[in-house]
Chain A
Amino acid sequence: MFNHYESSTRKPLILGKKTLKNITDDIFNPIKNKAGNLWWISFFISILAFLWGLGCIFYTIGTGIGVWGLNRTINWAWDITNFVWWVGIGHAGTLISAVLLLFRQKWRLSINRSAEAMTIFAVIQAGLFPIIHMGRPWNAHWVLPIPNQFGTLWPNFNSPLLWDVFAISTYFSVSTVFWFMGLIPDFAMIRDRISDPFQKKIYSILSFGWGGTSKDWQRFEELSLILAGLCTPLVFSVHTIVSFDFSTSVIKGWHSTIFPPYFVAGAIFSGFAMVQTLLGVARKVLSLESYITRNHIEYMNMIILLTGGIVLLAYISEFILAWYSGNAFEKFIYFSVEAAKGPFWWAFWSLIICNIIIPQFLWIKSVRRSFFWSYVIAIIINIGMWFERFDIIVLNLSHDYLPSSWTGFIPSFVDVGIFIGTIGLFFILYLLYIRTFPVISQSELKTILKTDYNKK
């Protein structure tokens, strides 16, 4: 057999002397073997969280969104914060897959499948919030341009909220298709290995009869490349459009032209942080230490540093422009002196600490290459990015143009419950996914080995 060859000029992407057979086994074993205790404990906790959230959703729908902590002034708060946060998390998956594919970055191969799955599961959570926030979710289909019993009743295509519907649903469906198409050869690998007849049947259906003929591969590569080309502008468009929800409004602190690039950078920042979080778990639970290496962690941290830098630049611009405008109301926007010392000071400073100060430790090489510290910083960034969305939404709404309507916001247990429920559902989906689907794109990963032993 061939020994694994690594170029001396490039850091190795796969550790150990792996062969093609080893890669197949390493990806197939977590599916074939029974789940460990750690998996069952995580699954049980996720189920509990999800059930709490589900109860809160039923309570909301049965009673009305008055059970949330909203009020006349702050009529969006926790829910839309969660929506934007989840959409942001959904960004890194397609970015890793599509943009890094176009840039021929081979390091994406060990992590892209998990990241794509994360995208899909995160967008599912995101989609729940606007639907519940409608108050009458059974009428959610009214946002689609379909003939209805009211005659000439169409959705308003001028509205950024409707742009969201199209952006998120297109992003979700295209990302799912991108993910599934890439999975077909890997499903075929499982189909050809698995012995249980029921599972064999399921994977036979999922693999679509894939055989890996030369023409199939040729078309597959073309398809992947075009889908990547289509997904790349989609990644940028989705969060741009989410930012339009705010920037096309007349609320002070929101009507900002910097929002689209700032939101996209923030989404990639938080998305990569979530990929770090999930891969930290998958690496240990599925014994993928040879494939998810320090180099992968470091490369992702570099992107986190870059996008974090863009986000910091946006924060500075927001602060300076609010001050420079001389507008009395702009003084109360989420990035202002008043925000830092006002009633939401804790949210403001959480944002500063989690998103600006802590990530700077990634400039230190030993921290950037440390699994433990990367994991800790990634979780802190996740929290910080949630606070960023909370600050943008709640702080700006709390001080509107009419001082008599200035008010605060206290989330109810239902607000908190639904959020925790979505985290539970997200982890349920992810845990089920790592047990049943190949977490690493084994067929693509094998191309790195191929290149290596060609040089022998």
Chain B
Amino acid sequence: MNIHALYNNDTYLIKSIKIIHSHNYEIYEVYSPFPIHNLTQVLKLKKTNLSFFSFIYGLLGLCIACALTWYTMIWDWPQNIGGKPSFSWIKNLPSFIPVIFEFSIYFSAHFMCITYLIQCRLFPGRIPKNPDPRTTDNMFLIEIHTKKNAEKLIDLLKKNGAIEIMIKKY
């Protein structure tokens, strides 16, 4: 059984989640129109690894920029421009730093965003994830999948601030 409980207040939402947990019902998903900060702790969500990926992508950009500047300026076609040393990458490094820096940021930002979209399974034209359009406006929704006594759960939800409850059978 798939139960959707709608709330119009995030304080009641959090309170309700705690109560649902305490009665050993499993919350499948929570939808909200804005980020709720203590929701992560209440739902015991795992920390995201986006920052780690971002760092790795930045390193990748840095390495590619180093390789590119070395290959083009030192190895493939060393030119003496303005008397700058053209046969040593390390001596040329100060003038490559701006490009290396920009490459690192570029890689870090773009690949992290792509990773984020993949992790969240977001892509152009995807069917909206939220079961009720009001959750992008002013409503909060808890989705519970249960095989246990639904009536008891519905009672519990009603008592704790749910303004609407919808039941869908699988």
A, B bound: yes
Among A36-44, A290-298, A439-447, the stretch that binds chain B is A439-447
CB-CB contacts of B52-92 with A at 8 A, as 1s and 0s? 00100000000000001100110011010110100000001
Cβ of A222 under 8 Å from chain B: yes
Q: With an 8 A cutoff between CB atoms, is B9 at the interface?
A: yes
Specify the chain B residue showing the minimal Cβ separation from A223. B116
Q: Does the CB pair B137–A192 fall under 8 Å?
A: yes
Cα A447 to Cα B33 in complex, Å, equals 9
With A and B bound together, what is the CA distance between A244 and B123 in angstroms?
40
B169 within 8 A of A: no
**Nearest-CB residue, chain A, relative to B107:** A170
Closest-CB distance, A46 to chain B (whole angstroms): 29
Given contacts A145-B68, A145-B72, A223-B116, contact A213 B50 (CB under 8 A): no
Chain A residues with Cβ below 8 Å from B84 are 158
Given A156-B81, A157-B73: A193 and B138 interface contact (C-beta under 8 Å): no
Q: Which residues of A contact B125 (CB under 8 A)?
A: 204-205, 209
CA distance A2 to B137 in the complex (A): 15
Question: Given that A2-B9, A193-B137, A219-B48 are contacting pairs, would A157 and B99 also be in contact in the complex, using a CB cutoff of 8 Å?
Answer: yes
A 270-294 binary contact with B (CB < 8 Å = 1; else 0) = 0000000000000000000000000
**Known contacts A213-B30, A230-B105: does B136 contact A192 (CB below 8 Å)?**
yes
Across the interface, name the chain A residue whose C-beta is closest to B70: A157
A213-244 interface code vs B (CB 8 A; 1 in, 0 out):
11111111111001100110110010001001
Q: Nearest chain B CB to A169's CB is how many angstroms away?
A: 8
Does A158 lie within 8 Å of B95, measured CB to CB? yes
Determine whether the beta carbon of A188 is less than 8 Å from that of B128: yes
* C-alpha spacing A184/B99, complex, angstroms: 30
In the complex, whether B23 has a CB less than 8 A from a CB of chain A is: no
Q: Which residue of B lies closest to A244 (CB)?
A: B98
Q: Which residue of B lies closest to A221 (CB)?
A: B35
**DSSP majority for the A interface?**
helix
A433 within 8 A of B: no
Residues of A within 8 A of B146 (CB): none
Q: Return the chain B residue nearest A162 by Cβ.
A: B99
Q: Please report which residues of chain B, range 82-129, place their CB below 8 angstroms from some CB of chain A when the two chains form the complex.
A: 82, 84, 92, 95-96, 98-99, 101-103, 105-106, 108-110, 112-113, 116-117, 119-129
Q: A209–B81 contact, CB under 8 A? A: no
Query: Cβ of A156 and Cβ of B50 under 8 Å apart?
Result: no
Question: What's the minimum C-beta distance from A305 to chain B, rounded to whole angstroms?
Answer: 30
Q: Contact check, B48 vs A218: say whether CB atoms are below 8 A apart.
A: yes
The answer to whether B33 and A446 have CB atoms under 8 Å apart is yes
**Which stretch (A18-26, A54-62, A395-403) binds chain B?**
A18-26
B32, B81, B98: the one within 8 Å of A241 (CB): B98
Q: For the complex, what is the distance from the CA of A226 to the CA of B54, rounded to whole Å?
A: 8
Q: Check B76 against A152 for contact (C-beta < 8 Å).
A: yes
CA separation between A230 and B34, bound complex, in Å? 23
Contact with B along A161-204 (1 / 0, CB 8 A): 01100110010011001100100110011011100000000001
B1 within 8 A of A: no
CB neighbours (8 Å) of A192 from chain B are 128, 130, 133-134, 136-137
Chain B residues near A341: list those with CB within 8 A: none
Query: How many angstroms between the C-alpha atoms of A241 and B113 in the bound complex?
Result: 25
Question: Contacts A213-B129, A226-B50; is A237 near B34 (CB within 8 Å)?
Answer: no
Residue from A2, A154, A217 having most chain B Cβ neighbours under 10 A: A217
Most chain A CB within 10 A, of B35, B43, B48, B69, is at B35
Q: Which of A204, A215, A227 contacts B128 (CB 8 A)?
A: A204
Smallest Cβ-Cβ distance to A208: which chain B residue: B122
| CB nearest to B86 among chain A residues | A158
B25 at the interface (CB under 8 A from A): no
Docked Cα-Cα span, A218 to B51, in Å, equals: 12
Asked whether, in the complex, the Cβ of A444 is within 8 Å of the Cβ of B34, the reply is yes
User: How far is B137's CA from A221's CA once the two chains are assembled, in angstroms?
Assistant: 19
Interfacial chain B residues near A233, Cβ < 8 Å: 101, 105
Q: Kindly state whether residue A345 has any CB partner on chain B within 8 Å.
A: no
Q: Does B36 contact A (CB under 8 A)?
A: yes
Evaluate contact between B122 and A184: CB separation under 8 angstroms: yes
Given A24-B138, A156-B81, A174-B105: A215 in contact with B120 (beta carbons within 8 A): yes
**Contact between B137 and A158, CB atoms less than 8 A apart:** no
- Is A157 within 8 A of B95, CB to CB? yes
Structural contact, B82 and A158, CB atoms closer than 8 A: yes
Give min CB distance, B134 to chain A, whole Å.
Answer: 8
Q: Judge whether B24 is part of the interface by a CB distance below 8 angstroms.
A: no
15 new A-B contacts, CB < 8 A, other than A1-B8, A24-B33, A216-B120, are: A145-B72, A158-B92, A158-B96, A166-B102, A185-B34, A192-B137, A204-B128, A207-B128, A209-B129, A211-B31, A214-B29, A217-B34, A218-B48, A230-B54, A443-B35
Residues of B whose CB lies within 8 Å of any CB of A are 8-11, 29-36, 39-40, 43, 45, 48, 50-51, 54, 68-69, 72-73, 76-77, 79, 81-82, 84, 92, 95-96, 98-99, 101-103, 105-106, 108-110, 112-113, 116-117, 119-130, 133-138
26 contacts between A and B (CB under 8 A): A21-B138, A145-B72, A154-B77, A157-B73, A158-B73, A160-B98, A166-B103, A170-B102, A170-B103, A177-B109, A185-B34, A188-B130, A209-B125, A212-B31, A212-B130, A213-B29, A214-B43, A214-B45, A216-B129, A217-B36, A219-B119, A223-B50, A226-B51, A226-B112, A234-B102, A447-B35
